Amino acid sequence: MRTLVWFRGKDLRVADHVPLLEAAQAGETIPLFVLDPYFFAPERARSLPHRIQFLLDSLVELAASIAKLGSKLLVVAGKSADVVPHVAKAYAVERVVAHRWSEPVGRERDRRVAAALDVPFDLYEGETLAAPGQVMTGAGTPFSVFGPFARAFAKAVTIDGPKRAPRSLSPLPPVPRGIHPVTIPDLADLGLARNPRLVEGGEAASRKRLAKFLRGPAARYETGRDEMGEAGTSRISQDIKFGTLSARTIWTRAHAALDHHPKAARAYLNELVWRELAYHVLFHTPRVLTEPFRPSWKGFPWRKDAKAWKAWQEGMTGYPVVDASARQLLTEGFVHNRARMISASFLTKHLLLDFRGGEAHYLEWLTDGDWASNDLGWQWATGCGVDAQPWFRVFNPVLQGNKLDADGAYVRRWVPELAKMPDRWIHQPWAAPPRVLAEAGVQLGTTYPAPIVDHAYARKRFLAAADGHLGSASKRG
């Protein structure tokens, strides 16, 4: 049997790639990647610099891995709905296989591809641990609260060990007439300069990151994950987003490694279950990408303030933890999870700016920019999403910093103008005595901004706006 194995931007690996493995066992394989001209246009690529760098590096490694197995990755430019059927017909394949996607854009793309094909199009699970519809309430409806979802997930889902990469692949047959392969572009082709601060792409680097985490900080993950100045997290969010590691590989490796650390195991594996919930919600409620999950939040009276928006984006709000998170995002395409929560809370509740702006900004700059997880996180922090924190909870950036970055290591790294501030004042430099500021070389309003808004005032303003809107929405039913 000749099978077209269609790789997409969420399964850039050869290990635990079930479509590839089964196709290899059944006969000839045609490994294909389609370069979408819209996504890889220089202007578009420059708007997603961190994701593009990781994707290209991972794609190059995928091609090398396939070559080592005896085949060749066929790269063709065009729209998938046109290219896949064309390649399938030209190679006279008997079926096309790929991993399923949950996002609306992916589901529509696959519908169009299936309609244009003359052969079966088989979609395999692999994006998530649970298939769509596998974890539902007793009434057959989608979950919207994490606790019950997690309990149902544990009962409904059996997670087998990951499958190895095939030992070999059949050589790629000669390219038929009418098929025009292209080379994988490099960053310069797209007008991008390499950012050395980004994590390394590719399956091998992803496996090294996971192994390093499981050997070290994983054992105290239940507390270390919140310490912003420590390397207490796995840093593999971009790996699971692009599929250089499968969710099944991460789950089984972590479960085994943390067997003697039950609290850490529960905390870490729960993060994967939260990801499952994010994809569950997006699959069943795709409108969350454009509107609040909770209907009562529609029409919320968000402010418009270009100056405040720019200050938040650039890390110039005068609140050190918030500014550190903004600069980390722009510099290395990553933000510590606790810092993400603080930053999202600050944008929506201190500045009273629409969460959808922050969500889009993060999706643009995060290397791990993922529609489902990013949306769930932003709506959770705002209070309008699935199992969200209470809307009336407003993070105090100073208290959060003092508790979870007590020595100021996180702030000192990303806000170097405050590097010499004593621990006591690092998270509230505006409250430091003039002598302390002078000794640290800090001039408020000059070398570092004064707070853009007073915490107590901002909290009161948000609560009044939310109480007025949500109370009215409740009365309207």
Q: Is the pTM of this model over 0.75?
A: yes
CATH tag, 2-127: 3.40.50.620
Radius of gyration of the chain, Cα coordinates, nearest whole angstrom: 24
Nearest to 355 by CA among 283, 399, 293: 293
CA distance 140 to 102: 19
Note whether 213 and 265 are within 8 A (CB).
no
In this prediction, residue 473 carries a pLDDT of: 47
Q: pLDDT tens digit string along 195-247?
A: 999 999 999 999 999 999 999 999 999 999 999 999 999 999 999 999 999 99
| Residues composing the chain | 477
Question: CATH 1.25.40.80 occupies which residues in the chain?
Answer: 128-162+205-284
| pLDDT at 438 (0 to 100) | 98
Burial of 18 (0-12, 13-18, 19+ CB in 10 A): middle
pLDDT of residue 179: 97
For 124, list phi and psi in degrees, rounded to 5. -105, 155
What's phi and psi for 167, nearest 5 deg?
A: -75, -25
- Residue 119 vs residues 45, 78, 367: alpha-carbon distances, Å: 33, 20, 35
Greater model confidence, 471 or 71: 71
Residue 205 makes CB contacts below 8 A (sequence gap 6+) with 199, 244
Percent of the chain with pLDDT over 90: 95
Residue 474 has pLDDT above 50, yes or no: no
Q: What average pLDDT does the segment 335-347 reach? A: 96
Return the pLDDT at 297.
96
Position 390 scores a pLDDT of: 86
Chain-wide mean pLDDT for the chain? 96
Q: What is the pLDDT of residue 476?
A: 36
How do residues 292-335 score in pLDDT, each as one tens digit? Answer: 999 999 999 999 999 999 999 999 999 999 999 999 999 999 99
Do residues 203 and 246 make contact, with C-beta atoms less than 8 angstroms apart? Answer: no
Q: What is the pLDDT of residues 183-200, one digit of tens each?
A: 999 999 999 999 999 999
DSSP 245: S
**Strand order in 121-124's β-sheet?**
74-77, 28-35, 2-7, 95-99, 121-124
* CB-CB contact of 102 with 132 (8 Å): yes
Instruction: Name the architecture of domain 128-162+205-284.
Output: Alpha Horseshoe (1.25)
Q: What is the mean pLDDT of residues 447-459?
A: 97
Mean pLDDT value across residues 118-138? 97
Own/partner contacts of 296-301, CB < 8 Å, gap of 24 or more, are 296/384, 296/469, 296/470, 296/473, 296/474, 297/382, 297/383, 297/384, 297/469, 297/470, 297/473, 298/473, 299/469, 300/354, 300/384, 300/465, 300/466, 300/469, 301/465, 301/468, 301/469
Nearest residue to 414 via CA among 311, 306, 314:
314
Query: Domain 295-476 in CATH: superfamily?
Result: DNA Cyclobutane Dipyrimidine Photolyase, subunit A, domain 3 (1.10.579.10)
What is the mean predicted confidence (pLDDT) over 164-168?
Answer: 96
Whether 109 shows a pLDDT value over 70: the answer reads yes
The residues of the chain that CATH labels 3.40.50.620 are 2-127
On the question of pLDDT at 477 being above 80, the answer is no
Using pLDDT thresholds of 50, 70 and 90, give the confidence band for residue 472: low
pLDDT of residue 342: 97
- Whether residue 141 is predicted with pLDDT greater than 90 in this model: the reply is yes
Q: What is the pLDDT of residue 41?
A: 87
pLDDT at 18 over 90: yes
> Are the CB atoms for 348 and 322 separated by under 8 Å?
no
Give residue-wise pLDDT tens across range 24-40.
Answer: 999 999 999 999 988 88
Q: Residue 331: what pLDDT?
A: 97
Residue 38 has a pLDDT of 84
| pLDDT tens, residue by residue, 360-403 | 999 999 999 999 999 999 999 999 999 877 889 999 999 999 99
